[in-house]
Chains A and B, each alone.
Chain A
Amino acid sequence: MATNPVPDHVPPEMVRNFSLFTSPGMLPTPNGDPHAAVACVHAGPPIFYSPFNTRDGRGTWVITRARDQRRVLQDAETFSSHRSIFASALGENWPMIPLELDPPAHSVFRSLLNPLLSPRRVRVLEAAVRERAIALTERIAASGTSCDVMKDFTFPFTVNIFLRFLGLPDHQLDTFVGWANDLLHGDYVKRPAAARTIVAFIDELASVRRKEPADDFMTFVVQAQVEGRRLTDEEVRGIGVLVFVAGLDTVAAAIGFDLAYLARNPKDQEWLRSEPDRIVPAAEELLRAYPTVQMIRVAKKDIDFEGAPIRKGDYVSCATMIANRDPAEFESPNTIWLARPDNRHAAFGYGPHRCLGSHLARREIVIGLEEWLARIPAFRIKEGTAPITCGGHVFGIENLILDWS
């Protein structure tokens, strides 16, 4: 893929050969550790320019310090979140909502959706989450002494919960995972095709729920009102598509990275298994160490930031995996310390766009680990196999074969 020319206003000395997509450890790598690989940026300056740092090969500024990422992500006046990341794959321009709206419009939709995923609401959803985790881990424990964690556990677990939330039947699970996979990791042919399929699916679901309301998320969205009016078709689509793409593989990947870590660190594994109360704080540390998402903002005006001449229209990358390895924020950031106190990690981002699903995601991770550790004895990476990790817009792991024979 060609790299875009570096804009004239970027001083050459601020350009670095770093990319979340193409740097060492970012491409699919057996036994890789992409999170550790990106931590190397902390040996360098707080901000630099990466000529190739989006899926479509655009350059971005890269903010390395947690403190500065907070400043960028909290300042929606200067740094917009609207870049039609999904619609652009279709050559269109509509926002995923609320992610790609800026305040004040953002706040209206955020207030509409917040109660559906608030910490209290998540407590109500929790019984179904646990039931699903128990069913899957029981089946895995009963059927042998090894499994493919992503295929047999994390995807069927997290996607099921998400489908239930949206109000969709479970039998289409593999189809949805396939779409998400094409969208996130597909090439220039597969990506737009998957995007079109997802849009058509969400539009159809919205139209069905308008005619036949059910007790689910899409029904809520098509019946909802903001500022005294119903949502437009484009708004309904923007919300549906966001929930679809945000919920599909981020949590599955997080749990995959967590189990890979525990498989390689039997002492930590046993430390959690012997005292399950430790899992809640440990999940926070694992979120710090293995977050999955890079946030990108677009400068709405010229600003000099820590010596960097950011100009209107420039992309600014705030990668959670970089902030979470900032030595100014976390003591020994590359050491995973499951009891780490004061763990103010950035896995769910900072500012008004803080992950709407964060409370559900947290509970899925905790419950997933609890039920896995309760039923699966001391496990390790199966001999002769190697999990494959990748960087990119969303970090991922596959071929994670665990063995407890």
Chain B
Amino acid sequence: MRIIVHKAKCQGHARCWAHAPDIFMLDDEGYILPGDVEVAEGDELLASRSARSCPERALEIDPTPAARVESGVDQPKVGRV
């Protein structure tokens, strides 16, 4: 599963981070870092719940399996593309 981050829509509510600080990373101002978020197996429920908590609708859930990341690239447990 992947969370598509619409960075321009993020207004720093940080609800995603409040739910899952290990999945959603913030910059020094408290806004989400750019780049979509690959969600590790087992974290899907938490990640989608966090995405659904965004008041701005800045996070979009893409249910495609994480395997969509280019083959041959080592995939971190929770990574960014």
Contacts and interface: CB of A to CB of B under 8 A. Distances in A.
Interface of A: 70, 74, 111, 114-115, 117-120, 341-346, 348, 350-352, 354, 358-359
A343 B13 CA distance: 13
Contact of B55 (A117, A118, A119, A344): A344
Given A344-B54, A344-B55, A350-B56, A111 B29 contact: yes
Contacts of B31: 114
A70 B49 CA distance: 20
A74 B29 contact: no
A366 to B, nearest CB: 11
Q: Is the interface of B mostly helix, strand, loop or mixed?
A: loop
Contacts of B11: 350-352, 354
Contacts of A115: 28-30
A346 B57 CA distance: 12
A134 to B, nearest CB: 23
Nearest to B11: A354
A119 B17 contact: yes
B51 to A, nearest CB: 10
Interface in B43-74: 49, 52-57
Contact of A119 (B14, B52, B57): B14
B26 interface: yes
Nearest to B48: A342
Interface in B3-31: 9, 11-15, 17-18, 26, 28-31
Most chain A beta carbons < 10 A, residue from B11, B52, B54, B56? B11
A288 to B, nearest CB: 11
Contacts of B49: 341-342
A343 B53 contact: yes
A339 B19 CA distance: 14
22 contacts: A70-B55, A70-B56, A114-B12, A114-B29, A114-B30, A114-B31, A115-B28, A115-B29, A118-B28, A119-B14, A119-B30, A341-B52, A343-B53, A344-B52, A344-B55, A345-B55, A346-B55, A348-B13, A350-B55, A350-B56, A354-B13, A354-B55
Contacts of B13: 348, 354, 358
A108 to B, nearest CB: 12
A135 to B, nearest CB: 27
Contacts of A111: 29
A352 B12 CA distance: 9
B29 A342 contact: no
Contacts of A350: 11, 55-56
Contacts of B12: 114, 118, 354
Nearest to A67: B57
What are the 4 closest A-B residue pairs judged by CB atoms, nearest first?
A118-B30, A114-B29, A354-B11, A342-B52
Contact of A359 (B9, B30, B56): B30
A111 B49 CA distance: 28
B34 to A, nearest CB: 15
B25 to A, nearest CB: 11
A359 B11 CA distance: 12
Nearest to A354: B11
A315 B13 CA distance: 25
Given A119-B17, A342-B52, A348-B55, 13 more contacts: A74-B56, A114-B12, A114-B30, A114-B31, A115-B28, A118-B26, A344-B15, A344-B52, A344-B55, A348-B13, A350-B55, A354-B13, A358-B13
